[in-house]
Chains A and B, each alone.
Chain A
Amino acid sequence: MNRRFGFFDATALTLGFAFLYLPILILVVYSFNASRLVTVWGGFSTQWYVSLLQNEQLLQAAWISLRVAFLSAAVATVLGTLAALALVRYGRYPGRTLFTGMVYAPLVMPEVITGLSLLLLFVAVDFDRGFWTVVLAHTTFTMCFVTVVVQARLVDFDRSLEEAAMDLGCPPLKTFFTITLPLIAPSVLAGFLLAFTLSLDDLVIASFTSGPGATTLPMRIYSQVRLGVTPEINAVCTILVALVTIGVIIASLATKRSAVARQ
């Protein structure tokens, strides 16, 4: 195998990762800035975190977002896993082309279209907009991401274990819960975490489908950002980045452990 990793490659990686990480790093550093100005370093301070804790509106929005993310990710994980099984394990069935289309299209669909169409659905069936409409909307667009993640694991799944269990008389449902599910669990967990962060992150779809009293954190951040950069938002962002980093580390440790266990 001839893979020469040269000077050019090292430069590409260094510049690439600097580009990806510097803006986030700057944001984190400046969330501890005592000065209100972005360009002036006024010394280390945690005052923005303190004032954040006193900002009722932001805290309430964060609480709504967390609940929406948890509920929608939970449902999306179940639906997405079923969809992945349907794509990988089932051969031809009526509507399969339509089904694959409906699974892949939301991955690339511009959010304004998804948001608008779901809003019009909720209006058409006369469903009051609010917390639950956001949950339904987020479930729909995140389940397809879960499908892709779980599908990747199912494709290179060793089916001989399942077959052995069934040959020994284990019913299919029990086989699924005792053999299949534990083996694909890391990807299901990764799918859940991805759905959770996508939901926590979404501004556009939530703006369309939300109603009074259900303002999510991104909606709140967006309206504050439009008024100008405030250090408080830097602090919110730092907390979110920290949460995501911890989540990803947990997920990757879980995957690694199961990979070691498999060997």
Chain B
Amino acid sequence: MAPRPPDRGAFGRALGALVPAVPFLWLTFFFLIPFVIVFKIALSEPATAQPPYRPVFDLSLGLEALSEAFSQLSFYNFSLLLEDSLYFSSFISSLRIAAVSTALLLAIGFPIAYAMAKAPERWRPTLLMLVILPFWTSFLIRVYAWIGILKPEGLLSALLINLGLIGEPLQIMNTDRAVFIGIVYSYLPFMVLPLYATLEKFDYTLLEAAEDLGCPPLRAFWRITVPLAMPGILAGCLLCFIPVVGEFVIPDLLGGSETLMIGRTLWSEFFSNRDWPLASAVAVVLLVLLVGPIVAYRDIEARRWEKAK
């Protein structure tokens, strides 16, 4: 902290300590501890009771019972995840869909962010606002809007048929393609914003220097713009990739029955099959898969703020 006034008494110090302590305790209780519980439930067996699982350990029973409980820990749910190809293929398919849509988002988002950064300065706040505004409107609504557009008797098919471009209605709705469209549409602001933040600060005289030295524009783009924009590219990709892997609403509303995504599997294990331990095991595996990207994202963000300070 900055120079402290000398008259800061015990009360002031206690108050100062509360500033980090309150959010810290809140997040510990409502964010960290719940994960521990998820791990615990993932190791318990399903039961037809309320709640529908048998508790693994009960701390009130003392150490002996605890050590016995440890010996009875069940990895049943995890072995089920490995054996049943449904779970394995939904994990693979989630990662594939997330990777493809992140690549699409980057390909579509980069030209937009680059154009925004190159636009005259007085336009930029408005352009920024136009990118942020859809992010503020309901996610559910934006996904829902595409149902009316993409379904066979929907607007897109009607338009293309009227223009004579296609003979029969498009079969996009309830396929992976509809899921890609929905993801790109919903997550575009998440990609554009971090890209814009780095490209806006980019020193464009570097490109001029490269041009003066005879470097062709495309090559200058790949060798100067892209490497310098890398923090933004990484932040944007992680900000999209991580939540998309666990996405539920988009595959559920736009995808078909063959669109396997892990968020959807978890949801149906939980709500339809009421198998809480298995749903928890799915969550644990998902979390383990995403730990690397999440830590990378945190590091990028923390470094960005350190630098800004």
Q: Chain A interface (Cβ within 8 Å of chain B)?
A: 1-5, 8-10, 12-13, 16-17, 19-21, 23-24, 26-27, 30, 37-39, 79-80, 82-83, 85-91, 93, 95, 99-114, 116-118, 120-121, 123-124, 136-137, 139-140, 143, 147, 151, 155-156, 159, 162-163, 166-167, 169, 171-173, 194, 197, 200-201, 203-204, 207-208, 218, 221-222, 225-226, 229, 233, 237, 240-241, 244-245, 247-248, 252
Q: How far, in angstroms, from A5 to B204 measured CA to CA in the complex? A: 12
**10 closest A-B pairs (Cβ-Cβ)?**
A110-B246, A9-B115, A117-B34, A86-B20, A83-B23, A12-B111, A23-B145, A16-B112, A108-B242, A102-B27
The answer to whether residues A21 and B20 also contact, given A13-B127, A102-B31, A140-B30 and a CB cut-off of 8 A, is: no
A121 near B30 with CB under 8 A, answer: yes
Binary per-residue interface labels of chain B (267-290) against chain A in the complex, 1 for a CB within 8 Å, 0 otherwise: 100110000100110010011001
Q: How far, in angstroms, from A191 to B120 measured CA to CA in the complex? A: 28
Q: Chain B interface (Cβ within 8 Å of chain A)?
A: 1-5, 7-8, 12, 15-16, 18-20, 22-24, 26-28, 30-35, 37-38, 41, 51, 108, 111-112, 114-120, 127, 129-134, 136-142, 144-149, 151, 153-155, 158, 185, 188-189, 192, 204-205, 207-208, 238-239, 242-243, 245-249, 253, 263, 266-267, 270-271, 276, 279-280, 283, 286-287, 290, 293-295, 297-298, 301-302, 305, 308-309
A39 near B153 with CB under 8 A, answer: yes
The answer to whether residues A108 and B239 also contact, given A20-B134, A87-B305, A123-B51 and a CB cut-off of 8 A, is: yes
B111, B130, B249, B263: the one contacting A17 at CB < 8 Å is B130
A12, A104, A207, A240: the one contacting B137 at CB < 8 Å is A240
Q: How far, in angstroms, from A248 to B5 measured CA to CA in the complex? A: 39
A89, A151, A240: the one contacting B141 at CB < 8 Å is A240
Closest to B8 in A: A172
Closest to A27 in B: B145
Q: How far, in angstroms, from A3 to B189 measured CA to CA in the complex? A: 22
A90 near B19 with CB under 8 A, answer: yes
Q: How far, in angstroms, from A136 to B29 measured CA to CA in the complex? A: 11
B290: which A residues are within 8 A, CB to CB?
A: 110
The answer to whether residues A116 and B1 also contact, given A2-B204, A229-B148 and a CB cut-off of 8 A, is: no
The answer to whether residues A173 and B15 also contact, given A116-B38, A117-B35 and a CB cut-off of 8 A, is: yes
In the assembled complex, 11 residue pairs joining A and B whose CB atoms fall closer than 8 Å, in A order, are: A5-B118, A13-B115, A16-B111, A21-B134, A79-B23, A88-B305, A91-B1, A112-B267, A117-B31, A244-B136, A244-B137
Closest to B131 in A: A20
B28, B108, B115, B302: the one contacting A5 at CB < 8 Å is B115
A89, A120, A221: the one contacting B34 at CB < 8 Å is A120
B286: which A residues are within 8 A, CB to CB?
A: 110, 112-113
B239: which A residues are within 8 A, CB to CB?
A: 107-108
The answer to whether residues A104 and B5 also contact, given A5-B118, A116-B279, A233-B144 and a CB cut-off of 8 A, is: no
B271: which A residues are within 8 A, CB to CB?
A: 207
Closest to B127 in A: A13
B148 near A82 with CB under 8 A, answer: no
A102 near B138 with CB under 8 A, answer: no
B31: which A residues are within 8 A, CB to CB?
A: 102, 105-106, 114, 117, 140
A233: which B residues are within 8 A, CB to CB?
A: 144
A90: which B residues are within 8 A, CB to CB?
A: 1, 19-20
A24: which B residues are within 8 A, CB to CB?
A: 134, 137, 141-142, 145
A110 near B22 with CB under 8 A, answer: no
B119, B148, B276: the one contacting A27 at CB < 8 Å is B148
A82 near B19 with CB under 8 A, answer: yes
B148: which A residues are within 8 A, CB to CB?
A: 26-27, 30, 38, 229
The answer to whether residues A218 and B138 also contact, given A106-B31, A136-B30 and a CB cut-off of 8 A, is: yes
The answer to whether residues A12 and B115 also contact, given A86-B20, A90-B1, A101-B298 and a CB cut-off of 8 A, is: yes
Closest to B26 in A: A79
B22, B111, B155, B309: the one contacting A82 at CB < 8 Å is B22
A222: which B residues are within 8 A, CB to CB?
A: 140, 249
A9 near B247 with CB under 8 A, answer: no
A104, A106, A147, A221: the one contacting B302 at CB < 8 Å is A104
The answer to whether residues A108 and B283 also contact, given A23-B185, A248-B133 and a CB cut-off of 8 A, is: no
Q: How far, in angstroms, from A8 to B218 measured CA to CA in the complex? A: 13
A113 near B246 with CB under 8 A, answer: yes
B185: which A residues are within 8 A, CB to CB?
A: 19-20, 23
B245: which A residues are within 8 A, CB to CB?
A: 110
B1 near A89 with CB under 8 A, answer: yes
